[in-house]
């Protein structure tokens, strides 16, 4: 009888202990925030396997229950992100360039699921504006912190969201040529910029900003929700992501002698101080041009009609952003990145001028030889 009582006691204790342990594990599992990482395998400039290893080794597994999903086609990230938002995920993290980020973000607007970014594109405009580090490990640290803030986004023609910039004019044409080039990276972008700049002719646009009409002959009309295109090229240096306004930058026609100073100011966050630049702020913008043509949003080229409508939507997207102390820590690194990128730009410009001068010399020699032949 004594052994029976002892056995019953131990059985009851063990059952209670195991049940309690399972219940605690279940509670712990439920407390973990669900997070999905969406990877575009053909986007960006970094090795995706190394990124996955960094996520596995650095992500806070006590805080997050995570999964990784690869995109299989253009637009697939939109579908994946929409599904995760419907399943009430805490966050969906876009691993790729600005195009991938745009696809993920558009499915998260007006939901409780936040957008996270591990930047590995050629421009990384939104990430750079938010001061999310280009270093993968440090970007994961930002996600581990889980600091959330709601930001604005823009809409083109009532159906196309953008989160960084959109526009028409020369930059839209270059975006189109860049997409057609088959190569990514800053130097390819600069190559297309220099090539198109020799033959591009500015257009005259009729604008209506918050109901006020105006007319401008422009090289570029850029609408900034964020401050830059990417690569720290600040086309709207005063833009913020939570003021409910578009920052419209109009770059008027300029001559080639003025180009170096405009380029320098673009990367020095002072282009708004140039005499060829007009800046405005508005909630809505209507653009009318003579015919349909190229436009861009978040670096993606698109053909649009002669009339384009752009408007801002306030605080419609939740984002994982760096805390203020993290921003301060990365300030010195941002300065280093700026000077490294400016050196790349300078080298590319020098290379292009050298190539152009060589072509001029070769052409000149051929003409001289032809003239000698005619005289003889």
**Helix, strand or coil for residue 160?**
strand
Domain assignment of residue 168, yes or no: yes
Looking at the structure, tell me whether residues 55 and 142 fall in a common domain.
Answer: yes
Phi-psi map region of 326: left, alpha, beta (phi>0 left; psi -120 to 50 alpha): alpha
Check whether residue 126 and residue 195 sit in a common domain: no
Residue that finishes a domain, picked among 99, 124, 146: 146
Query: Dihedral of the CA atoms 82, 87, 91, 96 (nearest 10)?
Result: -40
Judgement on whether residues 202 and 103 belong to the same structural domain of the protein? no
In angstroms, the CA 277 to CA 281 distance is 14
Residue written as tokens 């080639």?
A: 256
43, part of any domain? yes
Mean pLDDT by 10-residue block, N- to C-terminus, for the chain (376 residues)? 41 42 44 94 74 95 96 93 98 93 97 96 92 96 97 96 96 86 71 81 97 98 96 95 97 93 95 97 98 94 97 98 72 51 50 49 57 55
Beta-carbon contacts of 282 under 8 Å, excluding residues fewer than 6 positions away, are: 209, 210, 245, 246, 248
Question: What is the DSSP secondary-structure string of 116-144?
Answer: EEEE-SS-BHHHHHTT--SSHHHHHHHHH
Q: How far apart are the C-alpha atoms of 38 and 51, rounded to whole Å?
A: 12
Angle at 225 between CA 199 and CA 300, to 5 degrees: 45
Q: Are residues 132 and 166 in the same domain?
A: no
118 and 169 share one domain: no
Residue 11 inside a domain? The answer is no
Q: Name the DSSP letter for residue 271.
A: G
User: What kind and span of H or E run contains 91?
Assistant: strand 91-96
- Choose one of 146, 169, 185: the last residue of a domain: 146
Measured distance CA(353)–CA(272) in Å, rounded: 27
Residue 100 included in any domain: yes
Identify the pLDDT of residue 292: 96
Q: Is residue 15 part of a domain?
A: no
Q: Residue holding tokens 């100011």?
A: 265
Q: Pull the structure tokens for residue 359.
A: 């072509």
CATH code assigned at 202: 2.60.200.40
Residue 167 lies in a domain: yes
| Same domain membership, residue 175 and residue 128 | no
Q: Please give the pLDDT value at position 14.
A: 41
Q: 177 and 138 in one domain?
A: no
Question: How far apart, in Å, are the Cα atoms of 349 and each of 190, 212, 345, 346, 363?
Answer: 8, 39, 6, 5, 21
pLDDT at 347: 53
* Residues 123 and 251 both lie in one domain: no
Residue 363 lies in a domain: no
For residues 64 and 128, membership in a common domain is answered with yes
Residues in the chain: 376
Residue 47 pLDDT = 77
Q: Which of 87, 113, 146 is the last residue of a domain?
A: 146
**Residue 106's domain is classified under what CATH number?**
3.40.50.10330
Q: 231 near 165, Cβ under 8 Å? A: no
Do 307 and 170 belong together in one domain?
yes
Give φ, ψ of 311 to 5 degrees. Answer: -145, 165
Range of the domain at 53: 32-146
Count of the separate structural domains present in the chain: 2
**Does 111 share its domain with 219?**
no
For residue 322, being part of any structural domain is answered with no
Q: Is residue 39 within 8 Å of 51, Cβ to Cβ?
A: yes
Centre a 10 Å sphere on the Cβ of residue 325 and count the other Cβ atoms it contains.
Answer: 8
- Same domain, yes or no: 176 and 276: yes
């Amino acid at each position: 009888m004594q052994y029976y009582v002892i056995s019953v006691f131990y059985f009851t204790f063990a059952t209670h202990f195991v049940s309690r342990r399972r219940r605690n594990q279940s509670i712990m599992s439920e407390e973990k925030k669900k997070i999905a990482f969406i990877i575009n395998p053909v986007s960006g400039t970094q090795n995706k396997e190394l990124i996955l290893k960094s996520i596995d080794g650095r992500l806070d597994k006590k805080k997050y229950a995570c999964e990784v999903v690869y995109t299989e086609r253009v637009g697939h990230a939109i579908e994946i992100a929409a599904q995760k938002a419907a399943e009430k995920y805490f966050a969906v993290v876009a691993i790729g360039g600005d195009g991938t980020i745009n696809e993920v973000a558009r499915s998260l607007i007006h939901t409780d699921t936040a957008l996270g970014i591990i930047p590995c594109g050629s421009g990384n405009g939104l990430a750079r504006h938010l001061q999310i580090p280009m270093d993968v490990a440090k970007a994961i640290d930002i996600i581990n912190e889980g600091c959330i803030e709601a930001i604005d986004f823009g809409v083109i023609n009532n159906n196309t969201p953008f989160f960084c910039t959109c526009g028409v004019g020369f930059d839209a044409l270059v975006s189109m040529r860049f997409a057609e080039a088959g190569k990514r990276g800053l130097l390819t972008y600069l190559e297309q910029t220099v090539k198109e700049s020799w033959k591009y002719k500015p257009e005259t646009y009729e604008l209506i900003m918050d109901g006020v009409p105006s007319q401008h002959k422009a090289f570029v009309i850029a609408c900034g929700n964020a401050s830059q295109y990417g690569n720290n090229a600040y086309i709207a240096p005063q833009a913020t992501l939570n003021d409910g306004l578009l920052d419209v930058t109009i770059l008027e026609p300029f001559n080639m002698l003025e180009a170096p100073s405009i380029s320098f100011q673009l990367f020095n966050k002072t282009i708004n101080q140039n005499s060829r630049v007009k800046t405005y702020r508005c909630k809505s913008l209507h653009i009318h041009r003579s015919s349909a043509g190229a436009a861009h949003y978040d670096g993606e080229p698109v053909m649009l009609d002669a009339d384009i409508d752009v408007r801002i939507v306030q605080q419609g997207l939740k984002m994982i952003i760096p805390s203020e102390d993290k921003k301060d820590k990365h300030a010195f690194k941002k300065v280093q990145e700026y000077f490294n990128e400016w050196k790349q730009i300078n080298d590319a410009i020098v290379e292009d001028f050298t190539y152009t001068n060589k072509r001029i010399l070769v052409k000149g020699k051929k003409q001289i030889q032809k003239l000698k032949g005619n005289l003889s």
